[in-house]
Homo-oligomer: A and B are copies of this chain.
Amino acid sequence: MLATIIHAPRDIRVETVPDPVLSTGDDAIVRVVAACVCGSDLWPYRGITPTREPHRIGHEFVGVVEQVGAKVGRIAVGDFVIAPFYVCDNTCLNCRNGVSTSCLHGGWWGVDDRKGAFADGGQGEKVRVPLADGTLVPVPGGVADAQVPGLLTLSDVMGTGHHAAIAAGVRPGDSVAVVGDGAVGLCAIIAAKRLGATTIIAMSRHPQRQELAREFGATHIVAERGDVGVTAVHELTRGIGADRVLECVGTKQSMDQAIRSTRPGAMVGYVGVPNGGPELPVRPLFDRNVGVNGGVAPVRGYIEELLPDVLSGAIEPGRVFDLELPLRDAADAYAAMDERRAVKVLLRP
Protein backbone atom coordinates (compact mmCIF):
# COMPACT_ATOMS: atom_id res chain seq x y z
CA MET A 1 0.00 0.00 0.00
CA LEU A 2 0.97 3.67 -0.32
CA ALA A 3 1.67 5.98 2.58
CA THR A 4 3.20 9.40 3.11
CA ILE A 5 6.65 9.50 4.70
CA ILE A 6 8.51 12.56 5.89
CA HIS A 7 12.25 12.10 5.42
CA ALA A 8 13.48 15.57 6.29
CA PRO A 9 12.30 19.17 6.02
CA ARG A 10 10.60 19.71 2.65
CA ASP A 11 11.17 16.06 1.79
CA ILE A 12 7.73 14.42 1.70
CA ARG A 13 7.45 11.15 -0.26
CA VAL A 14 4.61 8.77 -0.95
CA GLU A 15 6.09 5.28 -0.76
CA THR A 16 5.06 1.65 -0.74
CA VAL A 17 4.90 0.28 2.80
CA PRO A 18 3.63 -3.02 4.23
CA ASP A 19 -0.10 -3.29 4.75
CA PRO A 20 -1.01 -2.93 8.43
CA VAL A 21 -2.01 -6.04 10.36
CA LEU A 22 -4.06 -6.45 13.51
CA SER A 23 -1.82 -6.99 16.50
CA THR A 24 -3.34 -6.07 19.86
CA GLY A 25 -6.89 -7.39 19.74
CA ASP A 26 -8.34 -3.95 20.52
CA ASP A 27 -7.31 -2.54 17.15
CA ALA A 28 -8.93 -2.14 13.73
CA ILE A 29 -7.72 -1.72 10.16
CA VAL A 30 -9.30 1.25 8.41
CA ARG A 31 -9.19 1.82 4.67
CA VAL A 32 -8.72 5.58 4.35
CA VAL A 33 -11.36 7.37 2.27
CA ALA A 34 -9.90 10.82 2.81
CA ALA A 35 -7.02 12.34 4.76
CA CYS A 36 -5.60 15.83 4.89
CA VAL A 37 -2.64 18.00 5.80
CA CYS A 38 -2.69 19.91 9.09
CA GLY A 39 -1.11 23.25 9.83
CA SER A 40 0.89 21.45 12.51
CA ASP A 41 2.30 19.08 9.84
CA LEU A 42 4.04 22.16 8.50
CA TRP A 43 6.25 22.44 11.60
CA PRO A 44 8.37 19.40 10.66
CA TYR A 45 7.95 20.27 6.98
CA ARG A 46 9.55 23.65 7.65
CA GLY A 47 12.18 22.16 9.95
CA ILE A 48 10.88 24.05 12.97
CA THR A 49 10.47 20.73 14.75
CA PRO A 50 13.11 18.10 13.97
CA THR A 51 12.65 14.94 11.90
CA ARG A 52 15.26 12.60 13.34
CA GLU A 53 14.52 9.76 10.94
CA PRO A 54 11.95 9.05 8.21
CA HIS A 55 8.50 8.28 9.59
CA ARG A 56 4.86 8.20 8.55
CA ILE A 57 2.93 11.41 8.89
CA GLY A 58 -0.65 12.64 8.96
CA HIS A 59 -3.20 12.51 11.77
CA GLU A 60 -6.57 13.36 10.19
CA PHE A 61 -8.56 10.76 8.29
CA VAL A 62 -11.92 9.14 7.74
CA GLY A 63 -12.48 5.73 6.23
CA VAL A 64 -14.17 2.36 6.24
CA VAL A 65 -13.38 -0.37 8.75
CA GLU A 66 -11.92 -3.46 7.04
CA GLN A 67 -10.95 -5.63 10.01
CA VAL A 68 -11.39 -5.52 13.77
CA GLY A 69 -9.52 -7.30 16.55
CA ALA A 70 -11.12 -9.90 18.79
CA LYS A 71 -11.69 -7.46 21.66
CA VAL A 72 -13.39 -4.77 19.56
CA GLY A 73 -17.12 -4.50 20.23
CA ARG A 74 -18.41 -1.04 19.37
CA ILE A 75 -16.87 -0.78 15.89
CA ALA A 76 -17.75 -3.24 13.10
CA VAL A 77 -16.38 -4.10 9.67
CA GLY A 78 -18.02 -1.84 7.10
CA ASP A 79 -18.52 1.13 9.44
CA PHE A 80 -17.67 4.55 8.04
CA VAL A 81 -15.58 6.03 10.84
CA ILE A 82 -14.05 9.33 11.88
CA ALA A 83 -10.65 9.14 13.57
CA PRO A 84 -9.62 11.98 15.86
CA PHE A 85 -6.04 13.16 15.56
CA TYR A 86 -4.95 10.90 18.41
CA VAL A 87 -5.65 7.51 19.93
CA CYS A 88 -7.61 7.20 23.18
CA ASP A 89 -9.52 4.58 25.14
CA ASN A 90 -12.35 7.01 25.98
CA THR A 91 -12.78 5.34 29.37
CA CYS A 92 -9.83 6.37 31.58
CA LEU A 93 -10.03 9.08 34.24
CA ASN A 94 -8.73 11.79 31.92
CA CYS A 95 -11.05 10.78 29.07
CA ARG A 96 -13.99 10.85 31.47
CA ASN A 97 -12.88 14.30 32.56
CA GLY A 98 -13.20 15.43 28.95
CA VAL A 99 -9.47 15.48 28.25
CA SER A 100 -9.03 12.49 25.96
CA THR A 101 -5.87 14.07 24.52
CA SER A 102 -4.36 13.16 27.90
CA CYS A 103 -5.69 9.58 27.76
CA LEU A 104 -3.69 7.42 30.13
CA HIS A 105 -3.39 4.72 27.45
CA GLY A 106 -3.50 6.67 24.19
CA GLY A 107 -0.95 8.20 21.88
CA TRP A 108 -0.29 9.98 18.63
CA TRP A 109 -0.48 8.94 14.99
CA GLY A 110 2.78 8.72 13.12
CA VAL A 111 4.87 8.77 16.27
CA ASP A 112 7.12 5.74 16.50
CA ASP A 113 7.23 4.88 20.17
CA ARG A 114 9.69 2.03 19.44
CA LYS A 115 6.97 -0.50 20.12
CA GLY A 116 5.23 0.33 16.87
CA ALA A 117 1.97 0.81 18.70
CA PHE A 118 1.07 4.19 17.29
CA ALA A 119 3.38 4.30 14.31
CA ASP A 120 0.85 4.55 11.50
CA GLY A 121 0.29 7.96 10.01
CA GLY A 122 -3.05 9.05 8.64
CA GLN A 123 -1.88 10.04 5.15
CA GLY A 124 -1.89 6.53 3.72
CA GLU A 125 -4.17 3.99 2.12
CA LYS A 126 -4.77 2.11 5.34
CA VAL A 127 -4.21 2.71 9.02
CA ARG A 128 -4.05 0.36 11.97
CA VAL A 129 -6.10 2.00 14.73
CA PRO A 130 -5.21 0.97 18.29
CA LEU A 131 -7.94 1.19 20.93
CA ALA A 132 -10.48 1.21 18.11
CA ASP A 133 -13.56 1.19 20.36
CA GLY A 134 -12.39 4.33 22.13
CA THR A 135 -10.82 6.15 19.24
CA LEU A 136 -13.19 5.74 16.29
CA VAL A 137 -16.64 7.23 15.89
CA PRO A 138 -18.94 5.50 13.39
CA VAL A 139 -21.16 7.65 11.19
CA PRO A 140 -24.73 6.31 11.16
CA GLY A 141 -26.35 5.64 7.77
CA GLY A 142 -24.62 5.98 4.43
CA VAL A 143 -22.09 8.70 3.70
CA ALA A 144 -22.42 10.64 0.44
CA ASP A 145 -19.19 11.69 -1.22
CA ALA A 146 -20.06 15.35 -0.73
CA GLN A 147 -20.25 14.78 3.03
CA VAL A 148 -16.70 13.49 3.29
CA PRO A 149 -14.90 16.84 3.63
CA GLY A 150 -17.20 17.97 6.43
CA LEU A 151 -16.80 14.69 8.29
CA LEU A 152 -13.04 14.87 7.85
CA THR A 153 -12.92 18.22 9.67
CA LEU A 154 -14.22 16.44 12.76
CA SER A 155 -10.84 14.68 12.89
CA ASP A 156 -9.25 17.91 13.93
CA VAL A 157 -9.98 21.43 12.72
CA MET A 158 -13.71 21.69 13.42
CA GLY A 159 -13.31 20.09 16.83
CA THR A 160 -10.30 22.26 17.50
CA GLY A 161 -12.14 25.47 16.60
CA HIS A 162 -15.00 24.28 18.79
CA HIS A 163 -12.56 23.64 21.64
CA ALA A 164 -11.29 27.21 21.42
CA ALA A 165 -14.86 28.43 21.82
CA ILE A 166 -15.64 25.99 24.64
CA ALA A 167 -12.40 26.80 26.47
CA ALA A 168 -13.20 30.51 26.18
CA GLY A 169 -16.71 29.86 27.49
CA VAL A 170 -18.60 31.36 24.54
CA ARG A 171 -22.25 31.96 25.46
CA PRO A 172 -25.27 33.36 23.63
CA GLY A 173 -24.95 37.08 23.03
CA ASP A 174 -21.19 37.20 23.46
CA SER A 175 -18.81 39.25 21.39
CA VAL A 176 -16.03 37.02 20.07
CA ALA A 177 -12.82 37.91 18.26
CA VAL A 178 -11.01 35.17 16.35
CA VAL A 179 -7.26 35.52 15.82
CA GLY A 180 -6.12 33.42 12.86
CA ASP A 181 -7.85 32.77 9.55
CA GLY A 182 -6.49 29.30 8.84
CA ALA A 183 -8.76 26.28 8.83
CA VAL A 184 -8.96 26.23 12.64
CA GLY A 185 -9.72 29.94 12.87
CA LEU A 186 -12.44 29.60 10.26
CA CYS A 187 -13.92 26.64 12.14
CA ALA A 188 -13.74 28.67 15.35
CA ILE A 189 -16.02 31.21 13.68
CA ILE A 190 -18.49 28.42 12.90
CA ALA A 191 -18.26 27.27 16.51
CA ALA A 192 -18.75 30.75 17.95
CA LYS A 193 -21.84 31.30 15.84
CA ARG A 194 -23.17 27.85 16.71
CA LEU A 195 -22.79 28.64 20.43
CA GLY A 196 -24.75 31.86 20.06
CA ALA A 197 -22.18 34.64 19.75
CA THR A 198 -23.80 37.67 18.16
CA THR A 199 -20.71 39.75 17.39
CA ILE A 200 -17.99 37.73 15.69
CA ILE A 201 -14.86 39.57 14.60
CA ALA A 202 -12.56 37.73 12.22
CA MET A 203 -9.00 39.02 12.17
CA SER A 204 -7.92 38.28 8.62
CA ARG A 205 -5.88 39.95 5.89
CA HIS A 206 -6.72 37.58 3.04
CA PRO A 207 -9.73 38.49 0.87
CA GLN A 208 -10.73 34.88 0.15
CA ARG A 209 -10.54 33.91 3.79
CA GLN A 210 -12.42 37.06 4.79
CA GLU A 211 -15.18 36.01 2.41
CA LEU A 212 -15.39 32.51 3.87
CA ALA A 213 -15.26 33.98 7.39
CA ARG A 214 -18.31 36.10 6.61
CA GLU A 215 -20.16 33.14 5.16
CA PHE A 216 -19.33 31.15 8.31
CA GLY A 217 -20.80 33.84 10.54
CA ALA A 218 -18.28 36.63 11.05
CA THR A 219 -20.12 39.92 11.52
CA HIS A 220 -16.98 42.05 11.21
CA ILE A 221 -13.55 41.75 9.62
CA VAL A 222 -10.45 43.38 11.10
CA ALA A 223 -7.54 43.24 8.71
CA GLU A 224 -5.13 45.25 10.86
CA ARG A 225 -2.77 43.77 13.42
CA GLY A 226 -0.87 45.19 16.38
CA ASP A 227 -2.12 48.35 18.07
CA VAL A 228 -4.41 49.26 15.17
CA GLY A 229 -6.01 45.84 15.21
CA VAL A 230 -6.53 45.97 18.96
CA THR A 231 -8.13 49.40 18.69
CA ALA A 232 -10.42 48.18 15.93
CA VAL A 233 -11.65 45.28 18.07
CA HIS A 234 -12.25 47.58 21.02
CA GLU A 235 -14.22 49.98 18.85
CA LEU A 236 -16.48 47.12 17.77
CA THR A 237 -17.03 46.02 21.37
CA ARG A 238 -18.34 49.09 23.15
CA GLY A 239 -14.83 50.34 23.79
CA ILE A 240 -13.91 47.65 26.32
CA GLY A 241 -12.81 44.65 24.24
CA ALA A 242 -14.28 41.29 23.29
CA ASP A 243 -15.97 38.98 25.79
CA ARG A 244 -14.08 36.00 24.37
CA VAL A 245 -11.06 35.79 22.10
CA LEU A 246 -10.17 32.62 20.24
CA GLU A 247 -6.44 32.30 19.53
CA CYS A 248 -5.93 29.92 16.61
CA VAL A 249 -2.33 30.51 15.53
CA GLY A 250 0.16 29.78 18.30
CA THR A 251 2.77 32.51 17.98
CA LYS A 252 3.84 35.14 20.46
CA GLN A 253 2.38 37.82 18.21
CA SER A 254 -0.99 36.12 17.88
CA MET A 255 -1.28 35.48 21.62
CA ASP A 256 -0.38 39.09 22.31
CA GLN A 257 -3.04 40.19 19.82
CA ALA A 258 -5.54 37.91 21.53
CA ILE A 259 -4.83 39.06 25.08
CA ARG A 260 -4.95 42.74 24.16
CA SER A 261 -8.25 42.31 22.31
CA THR A 262 -10.06 41.13 25.46
CA ARG A 263 -12.26 43.08 27.79
CA PRO A 264 -11.57 42.92 31.54
CA GLY A 265 -12.86 39.60 32.86
CA ALA A 266 -12.67 37.94 29.44
CA MET A 267 -11.28 34.55 28.57
CA VAL A 268 -8.86 33.69 25.79
CA GLY A 269 -9.50 30.22 24.37
CA TYR A 270 -6.34 29.08 22.62
CA VAL A 271 -5.68 26.09 20.41
CA GLY A 272 -2.80 27.25 18.26
CA VAL A 273 0.09 24.87 18.93
CA PRO A 274 2.61 27.08 20.75
CA ASN A 275 5.64 27.32 18.53
CA GLY A 276 8.60 27.36 20.90
CA GLY A 277 6.79 29.41 23.49
CA PRO A 278 5.30 31.95 23.88
CA GLU A 279 5.37 32.53 27.59
CA LEU A 280 2.21 34.24 28.77
CA PRO A 281 2.69 37.69 30.32
CA VAL A 282 1.02 37.35 33.70
CA ARG A 283 0.69 40.98 34.75
CA PRO A 284 -1.63 42.13 31.91
CA LEU A 285 -3.73 39.03 32.58
CA PHE A 286 -3.83 39.58 36.34
CA ASP A 287 -4.58 43.29 36.27
CA ARG A 288 -7.61 42.83 34.02
CA ASN A 289 -8.78 39.39 35.19
CA VAL A 290 -8.25 37.88 31.76
CA GLY A 291 -8.00 34.10 31.78
CA VAL A 292 -6.27 31.81 29.32
CA ASN A 293 -7.69 28.35 28.74
CA GLY A 294 -7.31 25.71 26.08
CA GLY A 295 -4.68 23.45 24.65
CA VAL A 296 -4.45 20.45 22.40
CA ALA A 297 -8.12 19.97 21.60
CA PRO A 298 -9.82 16.81 22.92
CA VAL A 299 -11.82 16.54 19.70
CA ARG A 300 -12.80 12.89 20.25
CA GLY A 301 -15.30 14.09 22.83
CA TYR A 302 -16.84 16.62 20.45
CA ILE A 303 -17.46 14.39 17.42
CA GLU A 304 -20.85 13.04 18.52
CA GLU A 305 -22.05 16.54 19.42
CA LEU A 306 -20.99 18.15 16.13
CA LEU A 307 -21.77 15.23 13.81
CA PRO A 308 -25.53 15.86 13.42
CA ASP A 309 -24.93 19.48 12.42
CA VAL A 310 -22.36 18.41 9.84
CA LEU A 311 -24.64 15.70 8.42
CA SER A 312 -27.61 18.06 8.26
CA GLY A 313 -25.58 20.82 6.64
CA ALA A 314 -26.36 23.21 9.50
CA ILE A 315 -22.63 23.87 9.59
CA GLU A 316 -20.30 23.46 6.61
CA PRO A 317 -16.75 23.17 7.92
CA GLY A 318 -15.82 21.05 4.87
CA ARG A 319 -15.61 24.31 2.94
CA VAL A 320 -12.21 24.99 4.53
CA PHE A 321 -10.78 22.53 2.01
CA ASP A 322 -9.89 24.57 -1.05
CA LEU A 323 -7.71 22.01 -2.78
CA GLU A 324 -8.10 18.29 -3.31
CA LEU A 325 -5.27 16.08 -4.56
CA PRO A 326 -4.68 12.36 -4.93
CA LEU A 327 -2.64 10.84 -2.11
CA ARG A 328 0.33 10.29 -4.42
CA ASP A 329 0.65 14.08 -4.72
CA ALA A 330 1.01 14.61 -0.97
CA ALA A 331 4.26 16.52 -1.49
CA ASP A 332 2.36 19.05 -3.60
CA ALA A 333 -0.25 19.33 -0.87
CA TYR A 334 2.41 20.28 1.69
CA ALA A 335 3.94 22.79 -0.69
CA ALA A 336 0.56 24.39 -1.42
CA MET A 337 -0.13 24.88 2.27
CA ASP A 338 3.40 26.00 3.04
CA GLU A 339 3.18 28.65 0.32
CA ARG A 340 -0.33 29.64 1.47
CA ARG A 341 -1.75 28.76 -1.94
CA ALA A 342 -4.29 26.62 -0.07
CA VAL A 343 -5.99 26.90 3.31
CA LYS A 344 -6.23 23.13 3.69
CA VAL A 345 -5.67 20.25 1.30
CA LEU A 346 -7.73 17.07 1.17
CA LEU A 347 -5.98 13.90 0.01
CA ARG A 348 -7.81 10.98 -1.61
CA PRO A 349 -6.06 7.60 -1.68
Contact = CB atoms under 8 A, between A and B. Distances in A.
A282 B282 contact: no
A287 B295 CA distance: 6
Interface in A64-91: none
A296 B285 contact: no
A180 to B, nearest CB: 15
Interface stretch (A95-103, A201-209, A216-224, A329-337): A95-103
Contacts of A277: 282-283
Interface stretch (A28-36, A122-130, A260-268, A318-326): A260-268
A339 B93 CA distance: 44
A286 B296 contact: yes
B98 A265 contact: yes
Interface residues on A, range: 35 or more
Contacts of A240: 93-94, 97
17 contacts: A93-B238, A94-B240, A97-B243, A99-B265, A99-B289, A102-B264, A167-B291, A265-B298, A277-B282, A279-B279, A280-B280, A280-B282, A285-B295, A288-B295, A289-B298, A291-B294, A292-B292
Interface string A233-263: 0000011100100000000000100000001
Given A273-B286, A286-B270, A296-B286, A97 B263 contact: yes
A19 to B, nearest CB: 33
Q: In the assembly, how many copies of this chain are there? A: 2
A293 interface: yes
Nearest to A92: B240
Interface of A: 93-94, 97-99, 101-102, 167, 238-240, 243, 255, 263-265, 267, 270, 273-274, 277-283, 285-296, 298
A248 to B, nearest CB: 13
B267 A293 contact: yes
A243 B94 CA distance: 11
A77 to B, nearest CB: 33
A116 B291 CA distance: 33
